[in-house]
Structure 1
Amino acid sequence: MSQIPMTVQGAEALRLELHELKSVKRPIIIQAIAEARAHGDLKENAEYHAAREQQGFCEGRIQDIEGKLSNAQIIDISKMPNTGKVIFGSTVTILNLDTDEQVTYRIVGDDEADIKNNLISVNSPIARGLIGKTTDDVVNITTPKGVVEFEITDVKYI
């Protein structure tokens, strides 16, 4: 598996989730399985089957997170000199030249992307259009509504 780019914050969030799954959820599920087993016949024991299913989801997520962390290339943008160039991890403010609407995005890894918090995937059309450009550049980005012209007004490495 190839390296997966990830911000420091994204890696920390995955580590916290992994810790929560291993130290809190896993023991709760194990306890639920033990209690359901105590009820007797396992063939028709819905609580037991539900707990086992929950255990499968939990263990699958643990393996998924461990795999992502082991293949992560953690990039700390705050330690890089700000050249004004849009790169992975940078926070970019763009101005829609048609509507004069200004929006700020942070370019992050696929697993960290959350459009509600203005975190966009490095593989998204907007990020791909911005990567490599610098402050004051005008870029044309294909969106579902068609091609939109944006001006990069600010690039921060935070």
Structure 2
Amino acid sequence: MSAMSTTRARPPSRADYPVFRRITTRWMDNDLYGHVNNVVYYSFFDTAVNAHLIDAGALDIHAGAVIGLVVETYCNYFAPLAFPGDVDAGLRVAQVGRSSVRYEVGLFAADEPLGAAAGHFVHVYVDRESRRPVAALPDALHAALRALHDRV
């Protein structure tokens, strides 16, 4: 049995992320406690990453030969988010593998300097038809990742 870590994660700052996407909260995002429910944070991660890739021309969700499947996701929560409000999702890439990418996302209430949440999101890129990992990430994806990572 492993011991629990005693080091508490700290909220990120906006300077930790090179790219931001704005997401507007919706009425249905709030739970009965009056804040955005924890599962919605993962939806924000998914929205931020995929919107960046679509806008950069690296992801065609309808007809692209290569798609990203989520194989891992994680989140630390620091402060509540709520409707109505805007969330700024900061994006960066922590690791690029042969067929995978680890994205890191910080969620910030609009105009707040420190993150309300921070986590990661790992995509394995696969052939749409076979669902097998690709031999190498497509060039368009590498180009889109350059804005998020200085070693791509």
Identify the TM-score tier after normalising by the shorter chain: under 0.3
TM-score norm. by structure 1 comes to 0.20
- The structure whose Rg is larger is 1
**Higher helix fraction (1 or 2):** 1
TM-score norm. by structure 2 comes to 0.21
